[in-house]
C-alpha cells in the first residue's frame, strides 16, 4: 500500500494499524467519485464501488453506503438530498449537518462493543459538524449545498458545537466505566477530522491560507430546531438533551476577563460549570494544588481553576473525572497548569514546592511498577524545576529541543496517559520538534525570548504548514489517541480550536 494516497492517509488517521488494503481502496474510490465531474464516469465509479463493498459487514462501510446513496439521489434529482424541517437558518444548518453526515460517510466510524449506543452516534455527528464547519477555510471543493453557503458564523459555531459536545459527553457518560471505550473512540474520530480541517493542506490549500474573521461570533441552532430535528431522526433523549445543552453553551459563552499578567487565552469553553460532574473533580484537584503551593492569592487560584479546565480538556480521551487510580495519574500533569500561572505572577518557585509536588505525585503513583513510578517522579521534578523557572535550571539552547518539550509538560502528560487506562505510544522522537513548533505557532504572543524560547528565537512558522507536516508525518508513525490529544490535537483544543483569525489568536469574537 503506497502511503501517498488520500485513502491511505485517511485510513491511518481513523484506524491506525487496523487499516488494510480494502479500506484504503474504498476511501480512495470515494475521493475519486467526489472529484469526478463527468456524470457517466461518476455513475460507473459508483457502481464499481458498490460491488466492492457488497456483503461487507464492517461498521464503517455503513457510511460508505450512505455516501453512495447520497450521490445517487443527487444525480437523479439534480439537487443534494437535504430535508429542511422548518423555516429559518437553524433548520437549514441541521439539514446540512445531516447531509454532511451521509455524504461524508460518518455512520459506523464510532461504533464500539459495549457502552451506551448514543455515544457513538454523537461522536459521528460531532465529527461531521467539525468537518463541515472547517469547510469555510477550504481552498476548493465546497459544494453549493454545504455550510459555507449559510455564512461564517454558522461554520464557526457548528465547529464549537461539535467540539463542546464531546466534553459534555464525557461529563454525562464518563462516570460509567462501561463507556470508556466508546468515549475513547469518539475522541479518535473527532480529533482526526479536526486536525484535517485545521492543518491538512489537501483541504486548506497552499500558503498563504484563508483564516477566520475575528469579528464574527459563532452560533449554534436553537433548542426548538434541535428537538424537531432529533425527533425526525429518532435520536435518543440522552443525545438530544446533550446537543441542546451544548448549543446553549456555545450561544451564551463569553470568554471571561482575566488580569493582564495572565495574558489572552480561551477560557471556559471546554470545561466549566456546563460540565458539572467534571467540574467538581477539577476543583478538587485545584484545591489540592493550592494547598501544596501554600501562598497563592485568590486571583491566582481563580486563574488556576480556569487553566486547569483548559488543560484537562486535552486529557478527556482518557480522563473521566471519577478520581480512580487512572485519573489520579493523569491529573499529575496539572501541576504544569498551576506552575504556568505562578510563573506569570512571580519570578520563580521554590525548591520546597518542587519537593511537595514530587511527594504529591508519589502518592498518586504507588500502584505503578517501581520503574514506572521512578520514571514519572523524575519527570515531575524536572518539569517543576523548568516550568517553575527554578534558578540554575537551563532552557534548551534553541527553545524547541528536549528541554522545551519538558517545559511544555508534554513529556509528563504523555507518561500520565501511557500509565493510565488505555496506555499506548508516546509522540515519536522524529515528530517532537514539529509538535513544539505547532504549539509555538499558536502561542507566539506568550513566548518570552531567553525564558520560554531561545534568545534568538524568531516566530516565523505558519501553523498550517507545520501542522500539515505533522499530519502526514504521523501516518504509520502514530502515538496513542490519548497522547495525541494531550500534545498535538491538544495544541488546537488548548489554544483556539483552530478558530482564530490567525494561528496565534484566541479572540473568537466572544466579548
* CA 316 to centroid of chain Cα atoms: 10
* 39-92 per-position pLDDT tens digit: 999 999 999 999 999 999 999 999 999 999 999 999 999 999 999 999 999 999
CB within 8 A of 309, min separation 6: which ones? Answer: 267, 268, 270, 271, 272, 279, 282
CA distance 140 to 9: 19
CB within 8 A of 299, min separation 6: which ones? Answer: 259, 345
pTM for the model stands at: 0.94
Per-residue pLDDT of the chain (511 residues; tens, 9 = 90+): 445 899 999 999 999 999 999 999 999 999 999 999 999 999 999 999 999 999 999 999 999 999 999 999 999 999 999 999 999 999 999 999 999 999 999 999 999 998 999 999 999 999 999 999 999 999 778 999 999 999 999 999 999 999 999 999 999 999 999 999 999 999 999 999 999 999 999 999 999 999 999 999 999 999 999 999 999 999 999 999 999 999 999 999 998 888 887 778 888 999 999 999 999 999 999 999 999 999 999 999 999 999 999 999 999 999 999 999 999 999 999 999 999 899 888 888 899 999 999 999 999 999 999 999 999 999 999 889 888 888 877 654 344 444 544 555 678 899 999 999 888 899 998 998 899 889 888 888 777 776 666 677 777 789 999 999 999 999 999 999 999 999 999 999 998 999 998 887 887 766 4
CA distance 3 to 12: 9
Cis peptide upstream of residue 174 (ω within 30 degrees of 0): no
CB within 8 A of 313, min separation 6: which ones? Answer: 167, 270, 271, 493, 494
**What are the backbone dihedrals phi and psi of residue 107, each rounded to the nearest 5 degrees, phi first?**
-60, 130
Residue 489's nearest CA partner among 163, 18, 249, 165 is 163
* 231-283 per-position pLDDT tens digit: 999 999 999 999 999 999 999 999 888 888 777 888 899 999 999 999 999 99
Residue for cell digits 500561572? 341
Amino acid at each position: 500500500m503506497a502511503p501517498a494516497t488520500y485513502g491511505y492517509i485517511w485510513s491511518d488517521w481513523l484506524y491506525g494499524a487496523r487499516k488494510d488494503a480494502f479500506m484504503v481502496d474504498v476511501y480512495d474510490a470515494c475521493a475519486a467519485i467526489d472529484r469526478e465531474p463527468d456524470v457517466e464516469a461518476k455513475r460507473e465509479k459508483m457502481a464499481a464501488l458498490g460491488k466492492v463493498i457488497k456483503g461487507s459487514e464492517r461498521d464503517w462501510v455503513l457510511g460508505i453506503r450512505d455516501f453512495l446513496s447520497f450521490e445517487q439521489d443527487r444525480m437523479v434529482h439534480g439537487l443534494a438530498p437535504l430535508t429542511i424541517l422548518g423555516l429559518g437558518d437553524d433548520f437549514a444548518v441541521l439539514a446540512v449537518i445531516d447531509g454532511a453526515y451521509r455524504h461524508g460517510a460518518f455512520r459506523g466510524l464510532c461504533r464500539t462493543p459495549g457502552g451506551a449506543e448514543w455515544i457513538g452516534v454523537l461522536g459521528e455527528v460531532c465529527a461531521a459538524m467539525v468537518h463541515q464547519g472547517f469547510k469555510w477555510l477550504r481552498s476548493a471543493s465546497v459544494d453549493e449545498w454545504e455550510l459555507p453557503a449559510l455564512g461564517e458564523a454558522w461554520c464557526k459555531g457548528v465547529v464549537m458545537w461539535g467540539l463542546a459536545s464531546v466534553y459534555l459527553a464525557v461529563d454525562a457518560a464518563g462516570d460509567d466505566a462501561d463507556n470508556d471505550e466508546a468515549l475513547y473512540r469518539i475522541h479518535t474520530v473527532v480529533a482526526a477530522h479536526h486536525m484535517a480541517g485545521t492543518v491538512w493542506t489537501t483541504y486548506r490549500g497552499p500558503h498563504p491560507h484563508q483564516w477566520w474573521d475575528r469579528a464574527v461570533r459563532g452560533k449554534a441552532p436553537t433548542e426548538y430546531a434541535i428537538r424537531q430535528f432529533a425527533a425526525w431522526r429518532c435520536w435518543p433523549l440522552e443525545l438530544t438533551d446533550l446537543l441542546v445543552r451544548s448549543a446553549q453553551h456555545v450561544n451564551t459563552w463569553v470568554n471571561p476577563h482575566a488580569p493582564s499578567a495572565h495574558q489572552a487565552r480561551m477560557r471556559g469553553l471546554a470545561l466549566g460549570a456546563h460540565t458539572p460532574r467534571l467540574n467538581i473533580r477539577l476543583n478538587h484537584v485545584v484545591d489540592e494544588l493550592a494547598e501544596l503551593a501554600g501562598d497563592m492569592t485568590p486571583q491566582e487560584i481563580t486563574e488556576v481553576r480556569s487553566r486547569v479546565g483548559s488543560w484537562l480538556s486535552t486529557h478527556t480521551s482518557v480522563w473521566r473525572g471519577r478520581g480512580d487510580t487512572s485519573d489520579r495519574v493523569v491529573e499529575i500533569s496539572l501541576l504544569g497548569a498551576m506552575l504556568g500561572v505562578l510563573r506569570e505572577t512571580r519570578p520563580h518557585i521554590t525548591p520546597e514546592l518542587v519537593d511537595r509536588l514530587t511527594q504529591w505525585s508519589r502518592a498518586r503513583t504507588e500502584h505503578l511498577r517501581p520503574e514506572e513510578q521512578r520514571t514519572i517522579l523524575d519527570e515531575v521534578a524536572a518539569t517543576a524545576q523548568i516550568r517553575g523557572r527554578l534558578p540554575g535550571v537551563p532552557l534548551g539552547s534553541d527553545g524547541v529541543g528536549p528541554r522545551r518539550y519538558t517545559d511544555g509538560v508534554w513529556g509528563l502528560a504523555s507518561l500520565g496517559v501511557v500509565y493510565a487506562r488505555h496506555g499506548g505510544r508516546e509522540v515519536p522522537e522524529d515528530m517532537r520538534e514539529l509538535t513544539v513548533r505547532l504549539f509555538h505557532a499558536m502561542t507566539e504572543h506568550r513566548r518570552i525570548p531567553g525564558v520560554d524560547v531561545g534568545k534568538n528565537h524568531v516566530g516565523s512558522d505558519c501553523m498550517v504548514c507545520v501542522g500539515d507536516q505533522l499530519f502526514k508525518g504521523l501516518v504509520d508513525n502514530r502515538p496513542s489517541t490519548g497522547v495525541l490529544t494531550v500534545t498535538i490535537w491538544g495544541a488546537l483544543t488548548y489554544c483556539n480550536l483552530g478558530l482564530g483569525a490567525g494561528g496565534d489568536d484566541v479572540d473568537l469574537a466572544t466579548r
